[in-house]
């Protein structure tokens, strides 16, 4: 089973919400050959979602606040302007936190960044980088977005302390319509059958 299969077992997506996107413009704009395949397959299964009132993910869109490339360009500018952060010794070997090579795939509702270190041309080698808005705390995950989601939602991995789900929390996913002119509208919710240990 893949991590996406595990995620579907934990939080089964109702039929009809998955969406396919043309990733070509985003990939071209970001200067990468391709976005990781698991990320594309995630959207085909789930569509637009948020997890546990904490995390949303970005994808191709005409809405600059949802579009993966537009959000990335804005975050690169913000991250480059802020020189606060961990000293280089706390960054794993082979990982870059140079804003020009980071791609923002998600965010917390508190303004924290979920990024790929995309300095390697092979997306299978990209490390996930997490940082708060001031870059005071950083976390790293050597795996895919879908494997991270499973580990985070089951309490097996927390990139930085503020992301911790409390023991006994029942993870959930909310499905929403992001292009509503009055703001995103939640249209459905799925709760996990089990709680975080």
The structure's pTM equals 0.92
Q: What is the pLDDT of residues 102-112, one digit of tens each?
A: 999 999 888 89
The DSSP 8-state label assigned to residue 120 in this structure reads: S
Domain count within the chain: 1
Q: What is the mean pLDDT of residues 53-81?
A: 93
Q: What is the rounded CA–CA span in Å between residue 134 and residue 10? A: 32
Query: Who contacts 94 (Cβ-Cβ below 8 Å, separation ≥6)?
Result: 127
Q: Residue 82: its pLDDT value, please? A: 64
Q: Answer whether residue 124 shows pLDDT above 70.
A: yes
Query: Who contacts 59 (Cβ-Cβ below 8 Å, separation ≥6)?
Result: 19, 21, 26, 43, 48, 66, 67, 68
- Whether 46 is in a domain gets the answer yes
Q: What is the rounded CA–CA span in Å between residue 60 and residue 118? A: 18
Q: Closest Cα partner for 63 from 21, 31, 99, 28?
A: 21
- Whether 145 is in a domain gets the answer yes
Give, in order, the Cα–Cα distances in Å from 95 to each of 80, 104, 142, 158.
17, 15, 10, 18
Domain that holds residue 54: 3-87+96-191
Q: What is the pLDDT of residues 10-61, one digit of tens each?
A: 999 999 999 999 999 999 999 999 999 999 999 999 999 999 988 999 999 9
- Whether 196 is in a domain gets the answer no
Q: Closest Cα partner for 43 from 28, 21, 26, 65?
A: 21
- Whether 162 is in a domain gets the answer yes
């Amino acid at each position: 089973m893949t991590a996406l299969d595990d995620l579907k077992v934990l939080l089964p997506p109702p039929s009809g919400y998955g969406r396919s996107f043309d990733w070509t413009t985003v990939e071209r704009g970001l200067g990468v050959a391709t976005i990781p395949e698991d990320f594309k397959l995630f959207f085909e299964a789930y569509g637009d979602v948020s997890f546990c009132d904490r995390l949303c993910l970005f994808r191709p869109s005409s809405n600059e606040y949802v579009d993966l490339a537009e959000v990335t360009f804005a975050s690169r500018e913000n991250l480059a302007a802020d020189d606060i952060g961990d000293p280089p010794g706390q960054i794993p070997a082979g990982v870059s936190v140079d804003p020009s090579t980071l791609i923002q795939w998600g965010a917390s509702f508190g303004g924290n960044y979920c990024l790929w270190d995309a300095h390697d041309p092979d997306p299978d080698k990209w490390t996930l980088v997490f940082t708060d808005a001031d870059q005071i705390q950083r976390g790293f995950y050597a795996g895919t977005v879908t494997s991270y989601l499973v580990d985070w939602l089951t309490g097996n991995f927390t990139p930085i302390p503020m992301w911790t789900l409390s023991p006994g929390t029942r993870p959930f996913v909310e499905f929403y319509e992001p292009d509503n002119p009055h703001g995103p509208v939640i249209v459905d919710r799925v709760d996990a059958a089990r709680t975080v240990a």
